[in-house]
């Protein structure tokens, strides 16, 4: 325990479109998330993102609660459609002010603001500029970054580029990232995002030499379902497309030749302009942030298996002849069917650190559950406390064993709307009183986990 540093960034996370609501307020332009509930795969049983959990209205009260919990850092995203008005680069000053006020309030309480530049909610005007497979996306992203760096550069020490860039390839349709039902070449999208990310890193280093910037993918160790050598090959294959492609490109500046051969084989190849690679090679992150929920277990698919898309970020998929995910019989599951693997958290931390040797920040980890608010205004979420207790213990073991971890910001600081399973899948330390379709009073209640985490932060992990 003594290896945990005094300035360890204990905190929690959210993302703009999942907490803010007020989508027609403050000069925000339309984003892909505003109408996502109209897409064919979106369940009619769950809410949209229009009101979310009212953070845009209640941000001051929320920050006060974060401070009461003792949070030393808060990882939130800035909403691109609140900042940029159009492809011409016009700025929405009201949006700039909203985040400036939020950042100032956090600093007032000595909470380190950690900014995700882009967390899934890109503006609809991106389509006007060719969409996600057009290089103009990278130009627009850089313009947006320039505005943020200029507006908040003196106050923000840690920047995160793109949340879960890898999910644009792994679970894009499930979480609404491929707009208007378009069928895009996902690897082309990934390359454009990698380019955009590299440009953000280079720009940050150029104009904010004291700031630190890193990627924030969703990473997890992959297990082979058996000791059959062929299943280990499937594990290596999954590792490439699920984890390493996205970290190799940003940390080492290259696409693995095995990956390039693989996408040629499945005819989803993309053109690599050598000029892009020059930009990508220059961009060196200062740390790696990643989100961890659970590991993945795989085997080599049977010869007649057909391709299957992932149903969400944690559920698996099949690529014929390459890899196929299966259930791990050794692991328990959450109410929403996500496997729970604290030891896997430690394994993942060790793997990432061994491979890239950069400080690590955990930007998401947590349990989605159907919490119940009692008549006394309490939420007895012992299952969440147990989840955190196990995961944090394993993270502390990883630190003891030499992994350099600088912060832990679980998901989520306060209840929010899940990417595709509504508000009933709650993650927060703070309960927000609303249901899927009844907005009630949006009142905030501290869950039992709030008090548990407060003590943990106060003792710098000692009370675990
Ligand atoms: C991560 C995302 O994939 O997982 C978050 O970065 C998301 O935006 C979180 O909310 C939990 O997933 P879900 O689907 O339960 O909301």
Per the CB < 8 A criterion, the answer to whether 10 and 70 are in contact is: yes
Which region among 134-138, 368-372, 409-413, 436-440 has the lowest average model confidence (pLDDT)? 134-138
User: Does the pLDDT at position 438 exceed 80?
Assistant: yes
Q: Name the residue at shortest CA distance from atom 16 of ligand 1.
A: 418
Q: Name the residue at shortest CA distance from atom 14 of ligand 1.
A: 419
User: Does the pLDDT at position 345 exceed 60?
Assistant: yes
Q: What is the structure's pLDDT at 423?
A: 97
Q: What is the structure's pLDDT at 311?
A: 66
Q: Is 386 a catalytic residue?
A: no
What's the 366 CA to ligand 1 centre distance in angstroms?
9
pLDDT band at 271 (very low <50, low <70, confident <90, very high): confident
Annotated catalytic residue, options 20, 299, 339, 364: 364
User: Does the pLDDT at position 1 exceed 70?
Assistant: no
Q: What is the structure's pLDDT at 132?
A: 87
Q: What is the structure's pLDDT at 40?
A: 80
What's the 362 CA to ligand 1 centre distance in angstroms?
14
Q: What is the structure's pLDDT at 82?
A: 98
Mean pLDDT along residues 174-199: 80
Structure tokens at 338: 């996500």
Residue 49: count other Cβ atoms within 10 Å of its Cβ. Answer: 23
Give the CA distances from residue 176 to residues 47, 155, 418, in Å, rounded to whole numbers and listed in that order: 14, 32, 12
Atom of ligand 1 nearest to the CA of 419: 16
CA-CA distance, 305 to 321, in Å (whole number)? 8
Q: What is the structure's pLDDT at 31?
A: 95
CA-CA distance, 317 to 54, in Å (whole number)? 34
SS3 19: helix
Q: Name the residue at shortest CA distance from atom 4 of ligand 1.
A: 313
What's the 18 CA to ligand 1 centre distance in angstroms?
9
User: Does the pLDDT at position 5 exceed 70?
Assistant: yes
Q: What is the dihedral of CA 100, 102, 106, 111, to 10 degrees?
A: -90
Mean pLDDT along residues 178-198: 82
Mean pLDDT of all residues belonging to the chain: 94
Atom of ligand 1 nearest to the CA of 418: 16
E-assigned strand segments in 217-367:
222-224, 288-291, 296-299, 318-319, 323-326, 332-333, 339-340, 360-364
Atom of ligand 1 nearest to the CA of 312: 14
| Residue 441 burial (10 A CB sphere; 0-12, 13-18, 19+) | exposed
| 137-180 confidence digits (pLDDT tens) | 999 999 999 999 999 999 999 999 999 999 887 777 666 666 54
Residue 462: count other Cβ atoms within 10 Å of its Cβ. Answer: 12
User: Does the pLDDT at position 65 exceed 90?
Assistant: yes
Annotated catalytic residue, options 164, 299, 339, 351: 164
What's the 419 CA to ligand 1 centre distance in angstroms?
5
Q: Name the residue at shortest CA distance from atom 3 of ligand 1.
A: 313
Residues 6+ apart with CB under 8 A from 76: 13, 14, 15, 16, 19, 102, 113, 114, 115, 116
Which region among 28-37, 184-193, 403-412, 449-458 has the lowest average model confidence (pLDDT)? 184-193
Q: Name the residue at shortest CA distance from atom 5 of ligand 1.
A: 419
Pocket test for ligand 1, best of 313, 314, 370, 426 (most atoms within 8 A of CB): 313
Q: What is the structure's pLDDT at 310?
A: 65
User: Does the pLDDT at position 213 exceed 60?
Assistant: yes
Q: What is the structure's pLDDT at 313?
A: 66
DSSP label at residue 308: B
Atom of ligand 1 nearest to the CA of 175: 14
Q: What is the structure's pLDDT at 46?
A: 94
Cα-Cα end-to-end distance for the chain: 10
| 233-261 confidence digits (pLDDT tens) | 999 999 999 999 999 999 999 999 999 99
pLDDT band at 2 (very low <50, low <70, confident <90, very high): low
Atom of ligand 1 nearest to the CA of 416: 10
- Of 324, 365, 356, give the one whose Cα is nearest residue 244: 356
Mean pLDDT along residues 265-283: 92
pTM summary value: 0.96
| 405-426 confidence digits (pLDDT tens) | 999 999 999 999 999 999 999 9
CA-CA distance, 461 to 450, in Å (whole number)? 15
Pocket test for ligand 1, best of 369, 418, 423 (most atoms within 8 A of CB): 418
What's the 271 CA to ligand 1 centre distance in angstroms?
31
What's the 264 CA to ligand 1 centre distance in angstroms?
30
Q: What is the structure's pLDDT at 175?
A: 64
User: Does the pLDDT at position 354 exceed 80?
Assistant: yes
Atom of ligand 1 nearest to the CA of 366: 11
Q: Is 455 a catalytic residue?
A: no
Identify any residues that bridge with 326 across adjacent strands, giving them in sequence order: 297
Residue 41: count other Cβ atoms within 10 Å of its Cβ. Answer: 12
Atom of ligand 1 nearest to the CA of 313: 3
What's the 258 CA to ligand 1 centre distance in angstroms?
29
Q: Name the residue at shortest CA distance from atom 15 of ligand 1.
A: 418
Q: What is the structure's pLDDT at 387?
A: 98
User: Does the pLDDT at position 325 exceed 80?
Assistant: yes
Q: What is the structure's pLDDT at 326?
A: 93
Residue given tokens 């290089």 in the structure block: 135
DSSP states of 341-401: -HHHHHHHHHHHHHHH---EEEEE----B-----TTS----HHHHHHHHHHHHHHHHHHHT
Lining ligand 1 with CB less than 6 A are 15, 18, 163-164, 218, 291, 312-313, 364, 368, 411, 418-421, 425
Q: What is the structure's pLDDT at 42?
A: 84
Q: What is the structure's pLDDT at 371?
A: 98
What's the 412 CA to ligand 1 centre distance in angstroms?
9
């Amino acid at each position: 325990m003594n290896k945990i540093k005094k300035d360890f960034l204990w905190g929690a996370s959210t993302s703009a479109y999942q907490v803010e609501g007020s989508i027609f307020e403050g000069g925000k332009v339309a984003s892909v998330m505003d109408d996502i509930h109209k897409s064919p795969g979106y369940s009619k049983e769950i809410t949209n993102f229009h009101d979310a959990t009212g953070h845009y209205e209640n941000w001051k009260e929320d920050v006060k609660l974060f401070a009461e919990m003792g949070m030393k850092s808060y990882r939130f995203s800035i909403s691109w459609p609140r900042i940029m008005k159009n492809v011409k680069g016009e700025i929405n000053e009201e949006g700039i002010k909203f985040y400036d006020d939020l950042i100032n309030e956090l600093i007032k309480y000595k909470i380190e603001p950690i900014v995700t530049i882009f967390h899934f909610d890109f503006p609809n005007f991106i389509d006007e500029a060719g969409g996600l497979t057009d290089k103009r996306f990278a130009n627009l992203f850089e313009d947006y970054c320039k505005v943020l760096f200029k507006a908040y550069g003196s106050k923000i020490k840690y920047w995160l580029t793109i949340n879960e860039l890898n999910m644009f390839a792994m679970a894009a349709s499930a979480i609404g990232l491929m707009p208007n039902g378009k069928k895009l070449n996902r690897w082309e999208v990934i390359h454009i995002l990698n380019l955009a990310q590299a440009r953000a890193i280079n720009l940050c280093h150029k104009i904010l030499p004291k700031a630190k910037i890193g990627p924030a993918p969703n990473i997890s160790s992959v297990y082979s379902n058996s000791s059959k050598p062929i299943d280990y090959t499937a594990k290596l294959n999954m590792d490439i497309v699920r984890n390493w492609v996205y970290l190799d490109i940003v940390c080492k500046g290259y696409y693995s030749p095995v990956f390039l051969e693989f996408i040629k084989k499945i005819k989803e190849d993309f053109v690599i302009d050598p000029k892009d690679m020059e930009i990508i090679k220059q961009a060196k992150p200062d740390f790696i942030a990643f989100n961890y929920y659970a590991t993945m277990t795989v085997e080599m698919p049977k010869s007649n298996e057909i391709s299957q898309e992932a149903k969400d970020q944690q559920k698996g998929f099949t690529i014929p002849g390459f890899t196929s995910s299966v259930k791990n019989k050794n692991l328990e599951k959450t109410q929403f069917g996500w496997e729970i693997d604290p030891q896997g958290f430690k394994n993942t931390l060790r793997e990432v650190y061994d491979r890239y040797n950069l400080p690590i920040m955990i930007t998401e980890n947590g349990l989605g559950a159907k919490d119940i608010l009692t008549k006394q205004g309490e939420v007895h979420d012992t299952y969440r406390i147990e989840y955190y207790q196990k995961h944090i213990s394993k993270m502390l073991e990883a630190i003891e064993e030499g992994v350099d971890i600088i912060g832990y910001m679980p998901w989520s600081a306060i209840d929010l709307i899940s990417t595709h399973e509504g508000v009933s899948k709650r993650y927060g330390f703070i309960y927000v009183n609303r249901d899927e379709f009844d907005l009630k009073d949006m009142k905030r209640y501290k869950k039992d986990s709030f008090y548990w985490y407060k003590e943990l932060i106060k003792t710098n992990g000692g009370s675990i």
